Amino acid sequence: MSVFTAYFCGTGSHRFDDANPNFWNGELVSTLASNDQGREFAHWIAVDGPGSGNLQDDNLFVEPGSYYNWSGQLFGRGWEENVNHVLQLIKGETSWQRRKLSEDEYERLKDAGVPIPDAASTASWFWRTYDYGVRQPTPQELQERIISMFREPRLPTQVNLVGWSRGGISCHMLANAMANDPALRGIPVNIFAIDPVPGVGNVQSERVTLAANVREYVGFYSRDERSRGFACVIPSVHGSTRICVYPMPGRHATLVGNASADGAGVGKVLAEPGLIVRHFAEVCLTRWGVQLANRLNLDDSQLMQYHKAMAAADGRYQDMRNESYTVLTEGEKHDRLVHCGLAPTHFSKVQGNAYHPREGLALQRWNASTYKAIS
Per-residue pLDDT tens over the stretch 108-123? 656 666 555 554 444 4
**Tell me, what's the pLDDT at 233?**
96
**Tell me, what's the pLDDT at 101?**
57
User: For the chain, how many helices (H) and strands (E)?
Assistant: 10, 9
**Four-CA torsion 203, 204, 207, 213, nearest 10 degrees:** 150
**Tell me, what's the pLDDT at 38?**
97
248 in Cβ contact with 255 (< 8 Å): yes
* Domain at 3-48+153-374: CATH architecture: 3-Layer(aba) Sandwich (3.40)
**Tell me, what's the pLDDT at 364?**
47
**Tell me, what's the pLDDT at 69?**
67
Which residues of the chain, if any, have pLDDT below 70? 54, 65-77, 95-136, 351-365
Gap between the terminal Cα atoms of the chain? 22
**Tell me, what's the pLDDT at 59?**
78
**Tell me, what's the pLDDT at 235?**
95
211 in Cβ contact with 174 (< 8 Å): no
Q: Domain segments of the chain: what residues?
A: 3-48+153-374, 103-137
Kindly tell me the burial class for residue 139, based on how many C-beta atoms sit within 10 Å of its own C-beta (0-12, 13-18, 19 or more): buried
What is the distance between the alpha carbons of residues 30 and 34, in angstroms, rounded to a whole number? Answer: 6
